[in-house]
Amino acid sequence: MRDATLEKWLGKKMLKAMRFGTPITLLNGKDLAGWKLVNPNTKNGWSVADGYHFM
């Protein structure tokens, strides 16, 4: 099934030509290990609870 939003933004020809690689895991579902703020002097508004990432 095609994503209608991507098709709208990219057009049918571009979407048909897209190929996706192997998915990668960005979060471990437990904490924010491996992530850091762009500006370490700002407050971190992100958290992980019950396997979900919150802002």
pLDDT single digits (tens) 1-55: 456 777 787 888 877 787 888 998 888 888 888 888 899 899 888 888 887 777 7
CA distance 52 to 29: 6
The token duo for 22 is: 């192997």
- Would you kindly state where each structural domain of the chain is located, as residue ranges? 25-55
The token duo for 27 is: 């979060």
- Please enumerate in sequence order all residues whose Cβ is within 8 A of that of 18, keeping only pairs 6 or more positions apart, or say none: 10
Contact 2, 9 (CB under 8 A): no
